[in-house]
């Protein structure tokens, strides 16, 4: 009887762990835009859908343009 109770408790802990890990994670939104004369590159590209600790954004000027700041 004690063995069945221990197995039941173990299964309950596993179930709670699985349910907690399936909860939606907090999502943050990031809006990247340009106002002309260039574009950007983001890595990873699907930054809005991933839970990543960092995002690399690179500004790319159009031909004939440079960034001052």
Domain membership of residue 55 (yes or no) is yes
**Angstrom distance (rounded) from CA 20 to CA 14:** 10
Specify the pLDDT at position 40. 85
Per-residue pLDDT reduced to its tens digit, 9-67 = 888 888 888 777 776 666 667 778 888 888 888 876 665 555 667 788 888 899 998 88
Domain extent at residue 28:
2-61
Domain membership of residue 67 (yes or no) is no
* Number of Cβ atoms within 10 Å of the Cβ of 47: 17
Domain membership of residue 69 (yes or no) is no
The domain tally of the chain equals 1
Residue given tokens 């063995």 in the structure block: 3
pLDDT at position 8 over 80: yes
Domain membership of residue 49 (yes or no) is yes
pTM (global) more than 0.75 = no
Domain membership of residue 68 (yes or no) is no
């Amino acid at each position: 009887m004690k063995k069945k109770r221990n197995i039941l408790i173990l299964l309950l802990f596993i179930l709670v762990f699985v349910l907690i890990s399936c909860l939606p994670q907090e999502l943050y939104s990031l809006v990247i835009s340009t106002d002309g004369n260039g574009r950007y590159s983001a890595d990873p590209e699907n930054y809005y859908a991933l839970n990543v600790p960092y995002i690399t954004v690179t500004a790319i000027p159009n031909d004939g343009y440079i960034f001052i700041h």
